[in-house]
Structure 1
Amino acid sequence: MRRTLVRAALAGALALTTACGGGTAAPSGDGPVTITMWTRAATQAQSERLVKAYNSGHRNQVRLTVIPTDNYQPRIAAAAGARQLPDVFASDVIFVPNYTAQGLYLDITDRIGALPFQAALAPSHMKLGTMDGRRYTVPHTLDLSVWFWNKDLYAKAGLDPERGPTTLKEFAEQAATVQRRLGKGGKVHGTFFGGNCGGCYVFTFWPSVWAAGGEVMNAEGTESLNDRPPMTDVFAVYRDLYATGVAGPAAKDEQGPTWTGFFPKGEIGVMPMPSTTLGSMPADLKIGVAPIAGPDGGASTFVGGDSIGISATSAHPDAAWEFLSWTLSDQAQVEIMAKNKDVVARTDLAANRYSAKDPRVVLINSLVGKGRTPYAPRFGQTFNDPQGPWLRVAREAVFGDPGQVTRLNAEITKSLRQ
């Protein structure tokens, strides 16, 4: 109800502004339209490929602006306040509920409903783009968390290079074997993770909780469940990996920017990684890919990436939708996204002529329907903010005093409810 009132109030404010002459005039004539689009730097490569292909084959055109990721949210806020949002803008899927609640996206429920493949759109992205039964965004790019293992290091350590971990316990055992047999020089390590990065923890630890049938929050995103099994079991596994020297020592201070940089160097046996890095790995690095599992099995993934929608103030909603619907077409998803080893936004295209050449890509695509994207109105402040309560909980659980987790978990819930 609160979000309904917020959206209604903003809609009224937008209508008043337009009536007073502050809106953008509707286009006249039947000539081609140029729409504006914003995206954050994290999805620049995919966005540029889509826009280039669209512009080469359509009368309407898209003018893309790429904004540094750290500056993206402030730019959106400033543009919304000044009624200068672009026609379409992408967002980290985690923040979509915030933008929708603020009335920044246009309701495109009926447009989505007319798509013949609407049921195949990435379910986690669609869930976070839905509010009060209405739909406001569609998937733009997807990034999934998976386990990568180095086949050459596995072979040298006496492990089967074709058999990666199927449980979190096996993950720890295989990492420990690599460390014990190859780590004496200090260059090779069994595993690695971003130990001082709140977003890294949620992206790589939470799937093990979901795979075990657990939850990290209640459905409303207002109560933290991170002080109980299976979350505490996951914490314990990683705590032991670091305490015994299996995880690289730099893991404790890794704040996020370089946490994925060690595996491509061939120095890590097995670790959680973003699926989008597969296509940029060195050609001579033999990599296995496995779903993230719980302590005793199961499979899940954190479905990250960006969603995209039409701004509520766009003067060209029809042209904007023509572009967005095209990005979800077979042509765009297969010939642009899949061709470049990106995760497709439709579950019905998981096995396509490009992914079929690489079973690892087929596996990654198949996880889209199994994964989760957690919902919380105050997700960023609580879990991504380096000063937020989640990072204190995770670091205490992995590097400090696990006995403090229950007390600190209450601070997460408090933050979620503010």
Structure 2
Amino acid sequence: MSATRLRRPGVSPPAPIRKERTVRGPTRARGTRVRAARAAAVAISLVLVTAGCGGGSGEAAPTGDGRSSSATAAVDDGTTLTMWTRAGTEALSRAYVDAYNATHRNQVRLTGYPNEEYPAKLASAAGARALPDLFAADVVFAPQYAAEGLWQDLTDRLATTGLADRLAPGHVRAGTWEGRGYAVPHVIDLSVMFYDRKLFTRAGLDPDKPPVSLGEFAEAARAVGRLGGGVHGTYFGGNCGGCVEFTFWPSVWASGGTVLAPDGRSSTIASRQMADVFSLYRALYQEGVAAPASKDEAGPTWLAALKGGKVGIAPGPSAWLDLIEKAGVDVGVAAIPGLDGGESTFVGGDAVGIGATSAHAAQAWDFVAWTLSDAAQVEVVAKGKGVPVRTDLAVNAYSSADPRLVTINTIAAKGQTPYARNFNASFNDPQSPWLRAVRGALFGDAPAALAEGDAAITASLRQQ
């Protein structure tokens, strides 16, 4: 018997894990009822304080702090590894796995789960001490999973690669808890501004000169909206907290505003910048420039709207570039601007780590380390029009061949990744105070809704 624990010493019991909403990639759809997720969270809370039996394999079981006695080994010996991910980012995880399996003795078996079911699935597996060998998760949930001990400690292993200071810093921070690293960047997804070059031309706009301020964005949307014939100037996810944070917050940041305190325990949404951003989008909706479906868009049909060739300009996930282009849209890419200029992006995506109950840490690390290699980042990620997780590979043969990818990679350095342990409950959950604030700010009184939401979000962020 080993005293393997998921809860680390000194860490308070976890906040309830609720259902995840989709934002990035085709990633953020409406979450289902939170009751099942709360029940699963009860199971994880129980197991986090209970010692369990170690695995019976030849690999050393993880210790109480999540570190394996094999420390930094990477082993490729033909072991079959299990890996889980959310459906929204499964495509890139699948590309990693296929390339790894084709060149290694170890074989990774990947399973993707619907975004809205995934957090509860992880909680249930933790409660049963049956986490997969590897699992990826939305980067904004990484602080919670790291704090709760769902991943093994990768600090010493990562140090052997010499890559720690060349990885996406926001993702690295998200996977760090109390000075130790538990996850590394896996998928980078940025919020960008997409625009239909053909509709721009028809509206008398220069498709080679996208808007550089939110005011110019609004005027471009109005110009395209005047074309009529079912064409709308813009589109947004008005009933999706995750969609709005992913696409509106960059304008706040680019305008000098903030959303969270640095420690992730206080909201700062009741700002002039946030109110002005919401007021601009509210005006576009009231004028009929934004498609009517924007009001109730909860995520599932967001991508379809941008692929239809009937929307002039709208913010969305960079991972959609290839999907929109394959739908026949001549799509341009620009940075999301601030109210009067500047630019920023929400650096989202996934982090990946080794499951706390895995008996194959050395083999799992072999896969994780390989995903950070030049070969994986250039020939798998960049070749597929993705953003490398390594900052030193942002410029590569594939990105240089497509000016839009150059734009995306350049924007990445100007973005932010929010950090908060209770991010899901506070912002992405269907019952979150953020979504209530969003609805009020978009379709009511923005300053009042944001002031009320600010206090409620802060209270949620501080729940233990």
Distance 1:80 1:272 in 2: 36
For each residue in 1:372-396, what CA deviation from the matched residue of structure 2 results, as whole angstroms up to 9, or x when unmatched?
Answer: 1111222111111122211111111
Q: Counterparts in 2 of 1:122-137, with a 5 A limit?
A: 122-137=168-183
The equivalences for 1:236-315 within 5 A come to: 236-283=279-326, 284-315=328-359
Counterparts of 2:247 and 2:254, CA distance in 1: 12
User: Is the counterpart of residue 117 in structure 1 residue 163 in structure 2?
Assistant: yes
Who is 1:105 aligned against? 151
Report the CA distance between 1:48 and its aligned residue.
1.4
What's the secondary structure of 1:364's corresponding residue?
helix
Structure 1 SS opposite 2:319: helix
Q: What is the TM-score of this pair, normalised by structure 1?
A: 0.93
Give deviations 1:14-67, integer Å, cap 9, x for gaps.
79735xxx2212327995222211111112211111111111111122122222
* CA–CA distance in structure 1, aligned partners of residues 390 and 12 of structure 2: 29
Q: Which residue of 1 aligns with 2:95?
A: 49
Structure 1 pair 234–99 and aligned structure 2 pair: CA distance change class (3 A): same
Q: Which residue identity does 1:154 align to in structure 2?
A: F
Matches of 1:77 and 1:408, distance apart in 2: 28
Task: Trace 1:29-40 onto structure 2 (pairs within 5 A).
Answer: 31-40=77-86
- 3-state secondary structure, aligned to 2:414: coil
Instruction: Give yes or no for contact 2:251–2:339 (8 Å, CA) kept in 1.
Output: yes
In structure 2, which of residues 252, 267, 272 is the aligned counterpart of residue 209 of structure 1? 252
Q: Which has the higher helix share?
A: 1
- Contact 1:6/1:103, CA 8 A, preserved across alignment: no
1:75 aligns with 2:121: yes
Give the match for residue 462 of structure 2.
Answer: 417
The answer to whether the Cα contact below 8 Å between 1:4 and 1:101 also exists between their aligned partners in 2 is no
What root-mean-square deviation, in Å, do the aligned CA atoms of Structure 1 and Structure 2 show?
2.3
Aligned-partner Cα distance in 1 for 2:452–2:13: 38
Q: TM-score, normalised by structure 2?
A: 0.84
Segment of structure 1 superposing worse, 188-197 or 260-269: 260-269
Please tell me whether the aligned partners of residues 147 and 270 of structure 1 are also in contact (alpha carbons under 8 angstroms): yes
Q: Matched residue of 2:11: which SS?
A: helix
SS at match of 1:176: helix
Residue 39 of structure 2: aligned partner: none
Any idea what SS the aligned residue of 1:280 has? helix
Whether contact under 8 Å (1:4, 1:132) holds in the other structure is no
Secondary structure in 2 matching 1:5: coil
* Match of residue 10 from structure 2: 5
- Runs of 4+ in structure 1 off by over 4 angstroms are 7-10, 13-16, 28-31
Q: Would the alpha carbon gap of residues 28 and 236 (structure 1) be closer, same or farther in structure 2, given more than 3 Å must change?
A: closer
The answer as to 2:351 corresponding to 1:317 is no
Q: One-letter code of the match for 2:459?
A: K
User: Mapping of 1:52-63 within 5 angstroms?
Assistant: 52-63=98-109
Distance of 2:113 and 2:100 partners within structure 1:
20
Amino acid at match of 1:230: Q
- Structure 2 letter corresponding to 1:400: G
Structure 1: tracts of 5 or more residues without a match: none
The answer to whether the 8 Å contact 1:122/1:369 transfers is no
CA distance in structure 1 between the aligned counterparts of 2:115 and 2:294, rounded to whole angstroms: 23
Distance 1:82 1:362, change over 3 A: same
Gap runs ≥5 in structure 2 = 1-6, 15-43, 61-74
| Pair 1:367–1:7, CA change in 2 (3 A) | farther
AA matched with 1:287: V
Q: CA deviation at 1:102?
A: 0.7
CA deviation vs aligned residue, 1:304-331 (integer Å, no higher than 9, x gap): 1110001222211111111001011111
1:331 aligns with 2:380: no
Q: Is the 8 A contact 1:129 1:136 kept in 2?
A: yes
Q: How far apart are 1:3 and its partner, in Å? A: 8.0
